[in-house]
Amino acid sequence: MAKLKRSERIAALVKLLADRPGHLWSLSQFAERFATAKSTISDDLALIKAVLDQEGLGTIRTYPGVAGGVSYEPRMTEAAAWQLAEELAAQLRDPQRILPGGFLYMTDLLFTPFWVERLGALFATRFRAEEPDLVATVETKGIPLALMTARALGRPLVLLRRDSRVTEGPSVSITYVSGSSQRIANMSVPRRAVPQGARVLLVDDFMKGGGTARGMMDLMREVGARVVGLGVVIATAEPARKLVEDYFAVAVLEGVDTVRRQVRIRPSLGR
Amino acid sequence: MAKLKRSERIAALVKLLADRPGHLWSLSQFAERFATAKSTISDDLALIKAVLDQEGLGTIRTYPGVAGGVSYEPRMTEAAAWQLAEELAAQLRDPQRILPGGFLYMTDLLFTPFWVERLGALFATRFRAEEPDLVATVETKGIPLALMTARALGRPLVLLRRDSRVTEGPSVSITYVSGSSQRIANMSVPRRAVPQGARVLLVDDFMKGGGTARGMMDLMREVGARVVGLGVVIATAEPARKLVEDYFAVAVLEGVDTVRRQVRIRPSLGR
């Protein structure tokens, strides 16, 4: 294979880095692959970092030392985050999304890669400093979102189930009260999926009373994990007092008027 | 913002392309963003395509004409596909994965972004020629895999549910017989999620008797869609005669010996 020119090597490097967010690459690994000096790779990475930073396309983080290396981190600028939240709110204001009972159809967004990828990058940007070891969600609609958050952080995803499955081995389960409907429900996780002391970022698509989020937290405590953050796409304005206090919502749903066919929703990027 | 040098522009271009597989970008869009001539962008893209092809990192597809442009396509080489299948089989041979009843624990792999991303790229490579409009799976464990397949194809994902939800509006449902357990089960999809005549790629994590796959096909027929492919990660060797005939499996599970603690599994990349 012909040795690559600089711009060619940079193209390949960007592709490798972008394909695996959060993965720690050693400079020697790259130097070997591209048959060049580590100092050359180092220069390439400095250029890549500068461009990504300038263009708002994420960043390259360097970890010094023997076990060090470099890693690509998706990062969303404050401006891009607000733009995404605005775009989301605008989409959800479409009266065609109103379902009987005042529910909003949002499954299409939650299952479109480009939407969940950006939302995942937003959650990753917001919670990276909390150094989560893994991302968890409860089935079902939040799974793509949680996966993309996990991908952006370079961490695995753990799925909490509404019942325990024979194909997942010994599991830990709790019962919780769904905040809005006051139903008692079950939530479980395979014992081997969450290591003792793991730092867990919780992600979900929608939060009303916070009962499910409370359940996720209780289950995490039960398996000896530590919840370091909770991110949801949409939180409702009411009830204002939810079963969890500390959370991050991309947008707040203030109300759905099924008669006038109006959806009141606002970007939030906070509580 | 300073105008970028060639290698800098290439870094940014690769990043933009890689972040959105299957998305059609116009050259003018890039020319405008980087304040340069379309012919320059065209040269950059030729270089990028050559490098990605040579390094087995996917490819750039050019669509001619007024509505044309370029798009990044994840593509897995035959060699990389076999390596992935071998790696997967090796992982699953670990006796610690054996669960009571001869089940295999594979949730961790199915929920690790880097695993499902590569499996998704493999499915996308295998089925791209069938030109799927969307990717569908049935809840729950196949969702990350199906999402990554959809992402690699630049298409949306549609989730088939085991019951119909009030928050998804009018839905179409069928009953089907689970091939292995002979239980009668329900499967549904929101009516608005699948357009008439859509070409659908079905994806699932595991197939034994093929009853669930058959159910997915029946449901797709019911909503007027056309199934153009079925990809599963693991298919069992027995029963040899399944309820679906045409499928693609990454690996074949030949047996789990719970007494000797042995898993017999082989890479397949076919039936």
> Do residues B214 and B179 make contact, with C-beta atoms less than 8 angstroms apart?
yes
Q: Is the pLDDT of residue A201 over 90?
A: yes
In CATH, what number does A6-73 get? 1.10.10.10
Q: Does A162 contact chain B (CB < 8 Å)?
A: no
* pLDDT in the model for residue A267: 98
Grouping H, G, I as helix, E, B as strand and the rest as coil, residue A108 is helix
| Residues A93-118: tens digit of each pLDDT | 999 999 888 889 999 999 999 999 99
Instruction: Collect all residues of chain B within an 8 Å Cβ-Cβ radius of residue A193.
Output: 107-108
Residue-wise pLDDT for A260-270, tens only, equals: 999 999 999 99
Beta carbons within 10 angstroms of residue B98's beta carbon:
20
Domain locations in chain A?
6-73, 78-270
Q: How confident is the model at residue B1 (pLDDT cuts 50, 70, 90)?
A: low
Express each pLDDT in A3-28 by its tens digit. Answer: 899 999 999 999 999 999 999 999 99
Q: pLDDT averaged over chain A?
A: 94
Instruction: Give the pLDDT of residue B179.
Output: 63
- Res A64 pLDDT > 60: yes
Measured between CA atoms, the residue of chain A closest to residue B58 is A15
pLDDT at A102: 84
Residues 95-124 in B contacting A (C-alpha not used; CB under 8 Å): 99-101, 103-105, 107-108, 111-114, 116-117
This model of the complex carries an ipTM of: 0.94
Instruction: Give pLDDT, residue B178.
Output: 79
Percent with pLDDT over 90 in chain A: 87
Closest CA to A21 of A103, A91, A124, A100: A124
Lowest mean pLDDT among A124-133, A141-150, B182-191: B182-191
For residue A70, give every residue at least 6 positions away whose Cβ sits within 8 Å of its Cβ, in sequence order, or none.
A17, A24, A25, A27, A45, A60, A61, A62, A63
State the pLDDT confidence band at B271, using cuts at 50, 70 and 90: confident
Q: Which of A177, A181, A198, A180 is nearest to A189 (CA)?
A: A198
Q: Is the pLDDT reported for residue A45 higher than 90?
A: yes
Q: Is pLDDT of A247 > 90?
A: yes
Mark A3-16 as b/e (b = at least 16 C-beta within 10 Å): ebeebbbbbbbbbb
pLDDT value of residue B166: 64
Nearest CA in chain A to B163: A140
- What residues in B contact A150, CB-CB < 8 Å? 111, 113
Q: Do B166 and A193 touch (CB under 8 A)?
A: no
**Mean pLDDT on B90-95:** 97
Q: A interface mutation test: which of B143, B183, B263 has the most A CBs within 10 A?
A: B143
Q: What is the mean pLDDT of chain B?
A: 94
> What is the predicted pLDDT for the residue at B101?
83
Nearest CB among A47, A57, A156 relative to B111 is that of A156
Calculate how close chain A gets to B123, using CA atoms only, in Å: 16
pLDDT score, position A100: 85
pLDDT at residue A187 in the model: 94
Return the pLDDT at B100: 85
- Interface A-B: count of C-beta contacts within 8 A: 174
Q: Which fold has domain A78-270?
A: Rossmann fold (3.40.50)
Q: A108 contacts in B (CB within 8 Å)?
A: 156, 192-193
Which among B57, B161, B167 is the nearest to A15, CB-wise? B57
What pLDDT score does A166 carry? 65
3-state secondary structure of B131: coil
Q: Mean pLDDT, to the nearest integer, of B92-99?
A: 95
Cα–Cα distances in angstroms (integers) from residue B161 to residues A158, A161, B136, B156, B164, in the given order: 20, 15, 11, 16, 6
- Average pLDDT on B158-166 reads 82
